[in-house]
Amino acid sequence: MPPRRVLAAMSGGVDSAVAAARAHEAGHDVTGIHLALSRNPQSYRSGARGCCTIEDANDARRAADVIGIPFYVWDLSERFHEDVVEDFLDEYAAGRTPNPCLRCNERIKFAAVLDRALALGFDAVVTGHYATVRETADGVELHRAEDMAKDQSYVLGVLTQEQLAHALFPLGGTAKPEVRAEAARRGLLVADKPDSHDICFVADGDTGGWLAEKLRESGREVDSGGDLVDADGSVLGHHEGSWRYTVGQRRGLRIGTPAPDGRPRYVLDISPVSGTVTVGSREELRVDGLTATRPRWCGAAPSGPVECTVQLRAHGGELRAVVHARGDEVDVELLDPAEGIAPGQAVVVYVGSRVLGSATIAQTRRAA
């Protein structure tokens, strides 16, 4: 690949630091940037966790100094709040379960950042995601990383052909232990820094408590409690807000009476309008089909039925499926039934290691 002028998004973690270093070593003209995403840094997670804190900005700056590249901080806090945080609140208030990291990649890192980078004369954006981009005669393709344990193609399934053409993922062919060892050899102090796993804007990891505070502050109309019922409508207990639950949840239901068969109950459905949360057995969680909306294809949309695999969670396995793309709607027939699939989650479509695209789950069809 000929040298290019590239922007390296540096979160303050080890992956983005090594990605920037590799791009620099490959001969690219690299400028590092850190995204300031919180309007009030004290309101987001604290501690060295690799995303969104003051400590992370300092770690990213030190890494850029070691690599020998210019470094800047871009304030995208307003855009992040509107496009990611507010979307997260809207989805939970509507009884859905969103993936904020996927939304951040779509609207911040590969929309706001890439658009600004291109406007400033940069050719591409470099990130530390574990995925690969391959150039073909028909364009560019997004593929899984070689290290399946770290593969992040699921949260990149929202990228379009134009965005992929301006994206570099230098870590796609490397395992995480090798990245940490390389960071140590390069003298990067983040070599042993823990990975970030929690939602960056939920400071203490208590999503339910955070939602309770923010939904109240926002003035959104949400229920303050309701009934826990079984599939027949029998009231089993009460809850303090349907937005505290997600489909497939088992813990925290606080139902006083055991199920007739003595087995655990799970959340099957959430109705924010009535405030009703329906629970049932694990078998009742099984779905063999779903309908998704807002598709985003990494290339051309499929023109007919596609025999493929799909992934329904960021760290979930692949399921055999047949996908039908119909304009703004995608129908997925699951040949391998799944459990605990919630509206609001993303379905990402694969053929082999290649990502075809993704869509947002709107409805599921319960297996017989």
Segment-wise mean pLDDT, segments of 10 residues, the chain, 368 residues: 88 96 97 85 47 81 98 92 91 89 88 92 96 93 94 94 95 96 97 81 78 85 87 90 90 82 90 91 93 95 95 93 96 95 95 97 90
**Is-same-fold flag (223-284; 286-366)?**
no
Structural domain spans, the chain = 5-192, 223-284, 286-366
**Catalytic site residue from 101, 200, 298, 308:** 200
Q: In angstroms, rounded to a whole number, what is the distance separating the alpha carbons of residues 19 and 5?
A: 15
The CATH T-level fold of domain 223-284 is: SH3 type barrels. (2.30.30)
Predicted local confidence at residue 54, as pLDDT: 76
Q: In angstroms, rounded to a whole number, what is the distance separating the alpha carbons of residues 332 and 360?
A: 12
Pairing of strands 235-239, 167-168: unpaired
Phi and psi (nearest 5°) for 63? -65, -40
Per-residue 3-state assignment (H helix, E strand, C coil) for the chain? CCCCEEEEECCCCHHHHHHHHHHHHCCCEEEEEEEECCCCHHHCCCCCCCCCCHHHHHHHHHHHHHHCCCEEEEECHHHHHHHHHHHHHHHHHCCCCCCHHHHHHHHHHHHHHHHHHHHCCCCEEECCCCEEEEEECCEEEEEECCCCCCCCHHHHCCCCHHHHCCEECCCCCCCHHHHHHHHHHCCCHHHHCCCCCCCCCCCCCCHHHHHHHHHHHHCCCCCCCEEEECCCCCEEEEECCHHHCCCCCCCCCCCCCCCCCCCCCEEEEEECCCCEEEEECCHHHCEEEEEEEEEEECCCCCCCCEEEEEECCCCCCEEEEEEEEECCEEEEEEEEEECCCCCCCEEEEEECCEEEEEEEEEEEEECC
The pTM for the full model equals 0.91
Nearest alpha carbon to residue 63 among 26, 24, 28:
24
Q: In angstroms, rounded to a whole number, what is the distance separating the alpha carbons of residues 3 and 178?
A: 25
Predicted local confidence at residue 255, as pLDDT: 86
- Any bridge partners for residue 34, and if so which? 73
CATH class (in words) of the domain with range 286-366: mainly beta
CATH class (in words) of the domain with range 5-192: alpha beta
Predicted local confidence at residue 109, as pLDDT: 86
Predicted local confidence at residue 257, as pLDDT: 77
Tokens of 138: 């028909």
**Catalytic site residue from 52, 104, 298, 308:** 104
Q: In angstroms, rounded to a whole number, what is the distance separating the alpha carbons of residues 18 and 366?
A: 44
Packing angle, helices 14-25 and 176-185, rounded to 10? 70
Q: Are 71 and 32 in contact (CB under 8 A)?
A: yes
Predicted local confidence at residue 2, as pLDDT: 76
Q: Tokens 């993704």, residue? A: 358
200 is an active site residue: yes
104 is an active site residue: yes
